[in-house]
Amino acid sequence: MRKVMAVVTILLTLWGGCVEETVEETTTTTTKATLNASICSGIENLSERFACYTGLKFDSLSGDSVGSISAVAVRFLDPDLCELIGDYEMSGHGRFYCFTEVAYALKDPSICDRDLGYSTFFHPQCKERVESVLRNTTTTTTTTECDGIEGSYQKNECYIKLAKEQKNLELCKKLEAPPAPSGTTGTSMFRHYQDQQASCYCEVAVATQNTSLCPLCAGSEVSEARIINCYTDIAVAKQDASICEKIQDLEYRNLCYHTIVNVTENSKICEKIQESVNFSKEGCYRYVAMKKGDPAICNKINDTREKTYCLIDLAGKLGELRICNSVSGYEENYMCRMAVARKTNNPSICGSMTNPAWNERCIWSLLKSNPDPRLCENVHEIMGLKDYCYKKIAVDLANATICDFIKENTTRDVCYSEVSGGD
């Protein structure tokens, strides 16, 4: 809970609809675009990466430019984004704030070194702040020990840890605002104090499961995201979806519901979800069905197409042909059976397909991972498809003996020629 980002944000990668390959590269069952922060992290251009991340973040909760970059950097644990903070009003102080928050979130003091070129004055404080957390994570603390610590950052961190351990809100009032460095207004330092104080309230709120304290989590940027994370953490801890209703933003409220679903695998909570940019009841049901391997949950989906692809994905995942009996629709049923054939590597399922096109497509999908000429035995003898199957494998494996299985003379001769290189 100590971070601007909370565990719940990781779950953005889990929903928003599924993208499953069920036929071949050109056939996918797509609902909404899958949200995957790892895709953004792989983008080299930092501006484009930031734009990618903010597509996952909700604009209604954005702050000023520096604050937004810092919040996204911390939310997705990506210190590279701090480099984007240029000549704003806070300039180097903004970079320091960003690097410090990410270093703190990752508990990695080496990230503080990346700020050396911008704010050497604040660098030691970044290191001390992170290292104080590392020192405090394994030891039991007392108020006497906290009082004896020099430096406001370290002392405040001590009290925050103690407040959480003792579930004592009064200890948050002991946090001290740092003195302003000579020649500065001390604005950046005071922001850290405000954030530490907010973090203390949040820690106690979650530790005591007291939602009335969540509004105190706002921090220096009056971040609604902190408050939302507080509600969500408590909702998950209590497995109480009604707490999510305190969240006004629809996307984050849905995210709260989904977070509880991820922990409980309770499909009943999916009913509370309202259609939004990233979430839907259908996507939630589909997620739970795949997690639990239960086709009955797919049947809770009202949308016929969504229900069908839920069943197809599940049949393919489990390798259970019986699930395909519930899939109506000519092509959809073939698609389901092919998914099971691929999962189980069972060519007889392909052989049972009366449609030659789907029969061939099914066999080809198996040949991609297993170029075994015996698979061609399951291809229908129509329009030379079986002979073509043998020819392709013979050429791919450079094995002329496979050409012997070809019945049609011309095709067999072509097979021998292509395997030998056209000689």
H-state helical runs in 184-243: 187-208, 224-238
Least confidently predicted of 119-128, 193-202, 227-236: 119-128
Is 253 contained in some domain?
A: no
Is 170 contained in some domain?
A: yes
In DSSP notation, 273-293 reads ----SS--HHHHHHHHHHHHT
What would the mean pLDDT of 292-313 be, rounded to a whole number? 94
Output the CA–CA distances (angstroms, integers) from residue 394 to 97, 132, 379, 391, 412, in the order listed. Answer: 63, 66, 16, 5, 10
> Is the model's pLDDT at 354 over the cut of 50?
yes
Domain boundary among 238, 266, 291: 238
Is 220 contained in some domain?
A: yes
DSSP state of 379: S
Percentage of the chain modeled with pLDDT above 70: 75
Is 300 contained in some domain?
A: no
Strands 19-21, 28-30: parallel, antiparallel or unpaired by DSSP? Answer: antiparallel
Domain count, the chain: 2
Q: Dihedral sign for Cα 215, 216, 221, 227, please.
A: negative
Distance CA 275, CA 372 (A): 47
Residues in CB range of 401: below 8 A, 6 or more apart: 394
> Is the model's pLDDT at 89 over the cut of 60?
no
Domain boundary among 238, 272, 289: 238
**Of 31-40, 188-197, 249-258, 290-299, which has the strongest mean pLDDT?**
290-299
Whether the full predicted model's pTM is greater than 0.75, yes or no, is no
Is 77 contained in some domain?
A: no
> Given this model, what pLDDT does residue 344 score?
92
Residue 246: closest CA among 263, 224, 278: 224
> Given this model, what pLDDT does residue 28 score?
31
Is 26 contained in some domain?
A: no
Confidence of residue 393 (pLDDT cuts 50, 70, 90): confident
Least confidently predicted of 24-38, 147-161, 391-405: 24-38
What would the mean pLDDT of 120-145 be, rounded to a whole number? 64
Is 216 contained in some domain?
A: yes
Distance CA 330, CA 208 (A): 56
Confidence of residue 8 (pLDDT cuts 50, 70, 90): very low
Is 257 contained in some domain?
A: no
Percentage of the chain modeled with pLDDT above 90: 27
> Given this model, what pLDDT does residue 61 score?
34
Residues in CB range of 111: below 8 A, 6 or more apart: 79, 99, 102, 103, 130
Domain boundary among 188, 206, 238: 238
> Is the model's pLDDT at 57 over the cut of 50?
no
Distance CA 411, CA 404 (A): 11
Query: Can you give the residue range of the structural domain that contains 400?
Result: 356-423
